Structure 1
Amino acid sequence: MKKAPFKAIIQAILASMVICIYFGIVAKLDHKDTPWLSIILHPNMARGLSYGFILFLGNNYLSKWATKKYPANKDFGKKMVFIYTGSIILTILVVFIVNAFFSDLFIVNSSKNFSKRFYNFVGQQHIVYYFQIAVSSLFISMVFFGFYFYKKFKDYQIKESEQEKQQITAQFESLKNQLDPHFLFNSLNVLNGLIEEDPKKASLFTTDLSRIYRYVLEHKDKSLVSLQEELSFSKAYLNLLNLRFEAGIQIDLHIHEDEISGLILPLSLQLLIENVIKHNVISLKSPLFLKIYRKNNYLYIENNLQKKKVLNGNSGIGLKNIQERYALLSSLPVYIHESDDLFSVGLPIIPETVL
């Protein structure tokens, strides 16, 4: 015999015993002088065992059928209504049939014909009795199957949450994988321009770039890094920009020692600086002013607008990447503001308690 049917039969036996205990107590209350042994051996006890056994197996089948009919999480309420309504109807039918079996309805050698026996049997049935059985069966169904369905409901929620978490993780990994080629592409562009202008500076740039790229490789797979680490890395990158553009770029990094607490997305500050370089004209006649400062729980990167045309199709990938990654990790939005002469981006600083 399979494990599942065997378990259902054991549970059905327990349910039938519960019903017998219920009717035994009711009988004892009505007939206080009757010994317990007489109550236990009374034919009604066998009837009660039949009620419980058949009803539990019937409700078990009903619950499985309802699960197949309403598999969705949102149909939990419909499933419960269907189960309990079906349980009441099933109870009435089972009680009627079991009572008929224990009566003289099916006695062949009776002097009365079947129609008369059936009429007498129906006249002997009491609505209150059926109501008591229905309430008892409904209670047992709520205890056994209500708990079962609630557990299934919670398991479904956990499974749904895990699937959502896995989807977010996969999405986040996909976004992080954009960082490596994006950083390399922009850095090589800077190096290419520097080689044409000053080979000696290009050599220094290459040496510093190797150190910076090591940071990229070590931190690109992390979800968050300390603001202090990101600022130290960005200072090295800003030094490379100063090396290339000299007086063409003016950098104001205004972060005090008491403002370096918190967490930030790795390479987010560097990506924003790349965007500033990429989308603005930089020259001695029209210097680019870049300001980095902290205000409340945001790290701001501001620059004067000197827009230039960007011919490649990757325009905006850095900022979009940052927005999407922050959306997966924090409820705080990335602040973006653009006016006629100023562009500003604010990165949320996440408290260190999240780690």
Structure 2
Amino acid sequence: MKILKFYNEHKKFLLFLFIFSWLFTIHHNISTANSWEDFVFHMDAPFWTFIHAFLLFILIDFIQKRASKKYENTTSSAWKYLKFFGISFIFYMLAKNIFGILISVAFDTLARNYNSSFQITYKLFYQTIDFIIFGGISLAYLYSKENRNYRKRLSEYVISNSKSKIQQLKAQLNPHFLFNNLNILDQLIDEDTDKASDFLSHFSELYRYALKTAEKELISLREELTFTQNYFELMETKYQGYYKLIVADNINASSIIVPPFCLQVLVENAIVHNLGTVQNPVMIHISLENGIKVSNNKVKQSRKKKSNGVALKNLNKQFQLLTNNSIIIQESEYDFTITLPLIKTNNND
């Protein structure tokens, strides 16, 4: 099972190593031949080269896994792999030469194989070149593999962290939605108990949906528009004719996703900060124009309501986490506009 797991983990690299062994052997035979008549190619040679490279890769992989624990706090990953290279080289040279001496002793060829300093130097030089080529390739592969895994873990951490932050921000918006509407209910109880009863019935349905939706990171624009329009109808229970909601036809709701409450918060913001009248209503427009645009005309209140802007701040943080872009706020004496950046998906580039 361990052999199969090792193969599945490194099968692409092993295939590359096999092809490279063939090319390396052919290149070596061509470079040593003076003519086509001198060129000799043995079919088993690339396989022995591959086995040699494969065993060297296993040695380096073994040392890298064992030594990683010792050098896990090393600041430079490149420096750490240079240490692996040096340790692997020492083990390789010792193992190969001890094995060679034992074979020579076993077959009584020690004097012939190690009969001069030139022969010994040549063997050591040849082994060093072999290690630099095949060991270097193996270390480069393991280094790039570790970097890919690190970037993947880092990306997963960033995504997980972003999702956690988004959930925290949405958790803050839910009480905001609840308390604002409870204040309206409190006012209606004093003004008109029948309206208060209708408001409470409608609000309970909306809040049930809001709790369910809050568990999701993203929803379709169609869902958010439906929720926002239902919320606006709820507001009309108290402010009949004071506010108008107009949704443009150019919004392709099927291909756009948004975080929950993003439009509802902006519509609520327009209602809270403007006091419309039947003669001069606050016109709230939702359209698609370089993002999702929510705009309204300003109708000044005689007494401006205090606001800490928590809803808009949270909304802005959500879009920064989801798109790396902030919401765009444009304000003049007569108008207030917020544009939400589009969230990219496979169908919405």
The two structures share one fold, judged by TM-score above 0.5 = yes
What residue number does 1:292 align with?
285
What secondary structure, in the 3-state scheme, does the structure 2 residue paired with 1:244 have? coil
Q: CA deviation at 1:188?
A: 0.4
What residue number does 1:129 align with?
123
Contact 2:246–2:285, Cα closer than 8 Å, also in 1 = yes
What residue number does 1:323 align with?
316
What residue number does 2:328 align with?
335
- The TM-score normalised by the length of structure 1 is 0.65
Contact 1:335–1:346, Cα closer than 8 Å, also in 2 = yes
Q: CA deviation at 1:186?
A: 0.8
What residue number does 1:108 align with?
none
Deviations 1:283-341 (A, max 9, x none): 649955232131335222223343655457xx212112222222233345422112333
What secondary structure, in the 3-state scheme, does the structure 2 residue paired with 1:245 have? coil
Provide the rounded CA distance (Å) in 2 between the counterparts of 1:297 and 1:54: 57
What residue number does 1:114 align with?
none
CA RMSD of aligned residues (A): 4.4
Q: CA deviation at 1:76?
A: 3.0
- The TM-score normalised by the length of structure 2 is 0.66
The alignment status of 1:267 with 2:261, answered yes or no, reads yes
Query: Sequence identity, in percent?
Result: 26
Q: CA deviation at 1:86?
A: 5.1
Provide the rounded CA distance (Å) in 2 between the counterparts of 1:156 and 1:320: 33
What residue number does 2:235 align with?
241
What residue number does 1:172 align with?
166
What residue number does 1:84 align with?
85
Deviations 1:78-112 (A, max 9, x none): 23333335555666778888999999xxxxxxxxx
Rg bigger for which structure?
Answer: 1
Contact 1:191–1:206, Cα closer than 8 Å, also in 2 = yes
What residue number does 1:38 align with?
none
- 2:71 partner letter: K
- Listed as ranges, the matches of 1:57-68 within 5 Å are 60-61=62-63, 64-65=66-67, 68=70
Provide the rounded CA distance (Å) in 2 between the counterparts of 1:151 and 1:330: 28
| Structure 2 gaps, min length 5 | 7-20, 39-51, 105-114
Counterpart of 1:69 (choices 52, 71, 89) is 71
Provide the rounded CA distance (Å) in 2 between the counterparts of 1:250 and 1:91: 81
Provide the rounded CA distance (Å) in 2 between the counterparts of 1:327 and 1:271: 17
What residue number does 1:213 align with?
207
Contact 1:62–1:86, Cα closer than 8 Å, also in 2 = no
Contact 2:60–2:135, Cα closer than 8 Å, also in 1 = no
What secondary structure, in the 3-state scheme, does the structure 2 residue paired with 1:177 have? helix
What secondary structure, in the 3-state scheme, does the structure 2 residue paired with 1:274 have? helix
CA change 1:225–1:144 in 2 (3 A) is closer
